[in-house]
Structure 1
Amino acid sequence: MKTLVILGPLPDKEGKNLGGVADFNYNLAQRIGKYFNVLVITNTALYEKIDGVKVISVGDKKYPSFFSWVKMYSTLKKIKPDYTISSLHYSFAVVPMRNVRKIHFVHGFTGKADYGFLKRFVWNMLNRLIQHNNFIQLANSYFTKTINEKILMNPVDGVVPLGINDIFRCSHPSKQRNIDLLFVGRILRTKGIFEIARSVKYLPKGTNVAFVGDGADLEQLKIFCAENNLNAKFLGIRKGQELLRVYQSARVFISLNAAEPFGITYIEALLSGCKIVCPQTGGQVENLIKYPDSVCFIQNTSVKGIASAITTALSESESYKPNLENAKKYYSYDRVTKDIVDKLEEKSFND
């Protein structure tokens, strides 16, 4: 059996470490072993194994440094893998490798709203190195692929939509939904958190909102909600079964980043039985458009327009009984790993 090395972050104890990218690497390590002998190289000093897959930690920092890239490269040379799958800055360590099939998984894109000049410069340099060193690039959505190709001039070879953790794909007893409006994710302005809060005053009296997550704008959001006497709860970071229970207690899920690369929280909410309110742009659209009864796309991006979409979703949630069995099958990491293997075989055949 050929050897594949996954390089990237893994979830930390608080679940803060780079969110969906870390979950992607963890779930991939669990499932792709049916096709390869798998190892993981990471900067997350928390794991020795993932379900029998050996984890090699080269540091304990959130982001790799030049020295950790050197250690990763040195480790790769000793392993002599047949394949690598790397994400984010970890791909710097893979660039010098020869006689290896290299996949760079593209989880997003850089923009001035979210990234400073230095980070955009580093990403641009990485993209150029990847293009000139025989990487296969796979994106998490067609939206991500389009932004990379048409705006960042970074060609992408294919698309592999992400899966979600298995707990969201299992059948669970229905719960009383006592959270009217739920947001899950990083507490940042770019997610539209203040627009969500402002919209509450235009909703039916007594409507409550809950925010799950942490981020740079959390304290400001708490102050805003307190000053405006909003019925808001801040539940902190939730993971696993705790997070599932929160989703299953919510009637409507909302997130407002119009440039979301994939939108994993939308899929978690979908499979947890929430009605969804979201923008008409972003990577989530190509997934949610398959389930029109589950989503209210925002037609008017003013605060009143957002409130109108939420009001519609709240009303429809009373009789909402979705059939999501096909979605639960599709958003599995068994499908993700098969898609990746198929892309590898397709690329090898074409070459």
Structure 2
Amino acid sequence: MLIYQIAVLLSLLAFFAILLRNLIDLRLMPANPSCTGPLVSVLVPARNEALNIERCVRSLLMQDYAAFEILVLDDGSTDATPQLLQTLLDESGGRLRVLQGEPLPDGWHGKAWACLQLSRQAKGDLLLFTDADTKHEPDALRRSVAALNSEKGDMLSLTPRQELGSLWEELVVPLVYVILLCYLPLRLVRTSRNPAFCFANGQFILFRREFYDRINGHTAVRQALAEDIGLCREVKRAGGRVVAFNGFDAVSCRMYRSFRDIWEGFSKNLYASLGYSTPGLFLLMTLTAAFYIAPYLFFFYALIAGKFTMLLFWLPLTQMVIALLSRVIIARLFGQSTAMVFLNLFSQLILIAIAWNSFWIIQSGRGARWKGRNYNFS
């Protein structure tokens, strides 16, 4: 038991050390760079995005970068997205182009197919793939181009500010950044050629066109539901340089709006992001339980039984404090609620449930469901 408790404590301290290093490495983009540069094609796939598309496109039209075009692909929307796009098109002064998506071919997931179609129509030397649920500050494009150039990158991605409007969003969505900042040394994303050290966020990915074409674009990730990570791996395998920045002050995103969206969205991505590795998924579930759930069980048992020993009370309490301190630091970094951090136990329980569902929907043959489509590429 002592060895177990010490192992958990040392692991949490290692994660905390990775977090502290990542706070240094995950820098903000340059604040006031020049706005000159090559043409950038801003590419937005949109399927049933009536709640988001106006805000996204209007924020993109307000960019202060000198040379850019905006292409939005309507991927068979059945809501008001086409009508809203027509209104935006009429108001855009020629800066916006709206494309109609072609039918989804077998062996492709919807977003990759939409992005490939957009890239074929793009004229820019730089390609920015961004989601329809994002909002961009006027200097976001200018700063991201400057950051890509200053780091001599071939692919750039950001960590946007996640807009959290409901209790479920507050509980689950911040875990994305907990996993990123506590488990992955971000310096190695930039400096190591090993594809195992990958980060990309599909909400904002900026490519050099020549390198996008070199990896065969989204064709290379046509079956990867976590296509952003897949693109990062392809770039690194091709010898490219991937850079990441804190995009909190440049881009925001309302990723999900309900528990159902959270459940389906994370279930779609979690198992896929691990390459459908069953041992990897169950290891994640086991470690999550050991690091973030078991300490509470020991702690509350000690309180109820009145056994304030090192093994049952003080070591678990120390583990809980380190985990919560990590969450507080991340919450403050990205403007999230620090009060919700103290519900970390419930967040981690939901994560395990999502992980199990992510496994079950694939292994049962049901497939991951998103925006009215089912996928099973395992």
Q: TM-score, normalised by structure 2?
A: 0.30
More contact order relative to length (CA 8 Å, sep ≥ 6): 2
Which one has the bigger helix percentage? 2
Q: TM-score, normalised by structure 1?
A: 0.32
